Amino acid sequence: MTLDPRDLIRGLDARERAVLSVIYEHKVLLTQHLKAMFFGSLRRAQDRLRHLAQRGLIDTWYPPRPRGMGKASGHHTLTESGAQVVASLLGVARSELRYVVRDEEDREQDAWLAHRIGANEFFCTLIEAGRAIDGHGLAKWVPERTVRTAEGWIRPDGYGVYLHPGGALDFYLEYDRGTETTRQLANKLAGYIGVARDWTEQGAEHFPCVLIVVPNHRRERVVAAAFAEAVARFKRADRLASLSFYVANEEMLSQRGVLGRAWGLLPKLDRRLTIVELPAKEGMDYDLSDCIGRCFTEDGAQRWARLMPLSLRPRFPIGEPPGDEEEPPDEGVVA
């Protein structure tokens, strides 16, 4: 018997409705991601997600991993009933909801799964950083969207606003898995540059930073070459003076964390900066108390964190914001 979505909604609390909505927004989320956004402990997240699965609203699955690597994290997507509930919450017909419910075979063959998980993991680490460090917080996370201007369009893997004591960093994320050629990268980066050039009358002024995450140091050099090629296509160099394109590799991020000195300015890559040292804006209308991960979380989250540590090492640890320490040497990149 098919239940009416309105009947299912009446049995959901505000947090459960929010969980279903963000799974719709971000397509697939891990248990750790949802824990960062909505729960004070991993155990609590697992219990509530199990409840949603038992009600037939989400599908939890575990992709196969190489032998000896242990069990994969729970991957959560909407079922058809879950998609109908989200459509009702948004006040649209199910046919208008752009969400495809995949079966097990389709999920395992999803070429974009690793890409989506990697991009989502980066944003969720910033959410955890905001919960762990005073004065920090991820105020906004918009998943993949097409950004159009009069002169062009881009399709970043996400847009975020990260608050810290020095201001608000607004950025586009490009999560690169090393599958594109230098020319393909140059075409993509030229799209960003074209939009940035015409962002304001002064050119790239106030255009969000572009953060590019790549697998390793070698890929950073490929991105640097592609960026130089892309810039060379434009004549009005004066309108490009404010470009803020930064690249970091996962090897370095796993060592220093997303708040560590991991970000190199393209194209030279001659020094590394932290996220809080990147160009930030003042006066953006955001409040730390409204940051993602601040709602619904229980008191005593630190106590639960000690009792229930994550079994898997995070791809992107938080790291430490900058202090007075010297910048560590960057042995992998030659300026």
Range with the lowest mean pLDDT among 29-33, 150-154, 174-178?
A: 150-154
The count of structural domains within the chain is 2
In a domain, 321, yes or no: no
78 with 159, same domain?
Answer: no
Q: Please tell me the distance from the alpha carbon of residue 153 to that of residue 155, in angstroms, as a whole number.
A: 7
31 with 127, same domain?
Answer: no
The yes-or-no verdict on residue 38 having pLDDT over 90 is yes
The yes-or-no verdict on residue 89 having pLDDT over 80 is yes
87 with 126, same domain?
Answer: no
Domain-terminating residue out of 110, 125, 157: 110
44 with 138, same domain?
Answer: no
119 with 106, same domain?
Answer: no
pLDDT of residue 141: 96
Q: Which range of residues forms the domain containing residue 55?
A: 5-110
pLDDT of residue 71: 78
The yes-or-no verdict on residue 302 having pLDDT over 50 is no
Residues 6 or more apart whose CB falls under 8 angstroms from that of 122 comprise 158, 173, 175, 213, 258, 316
32 with 127, same domain?
Answer: no
97 with 120, same domain?
Answer: no
- Identify the burial level of 68 via C-beta atoms within 10 angstroms of its C-beta, where 0-12 means exposed, 13-18 middle and 19 or more buried: exposed
Specify whether the backbone of 281 is left (phi greater than 0), alpha (psi in -120 to 50) or beta: beta
Decide: 246 and 269 in contact? Cβ < 8 Å.
no
Q: Please tell me the distance from the alpha carbon of residue 151 to that of residue 148, in angstroms, as a whole number.
A: 8
Q: Please tell me the distance from the alpha carbon of residue 244 to that of residue 196, in angstroms, as a whole number.
A: 10
pLDDT digits (tens, 9 = 90+) for 40-63: 999 999 999 999 999 999 999 988
The CATH number that applies at residue 62 is 1.10.10.10
41 with 173, same domain?
Answer: no
The yes-or-no verdict on residue 67 having pLDDT over 90 is no
32 with 153, same domain?
Answer: no
77 with 139, same domain?
Answer: no
161 with 145, same domain?
Answer: yes
In a domain, 238, yes or no: yes
168 with 295, same domain?
Answer: yes
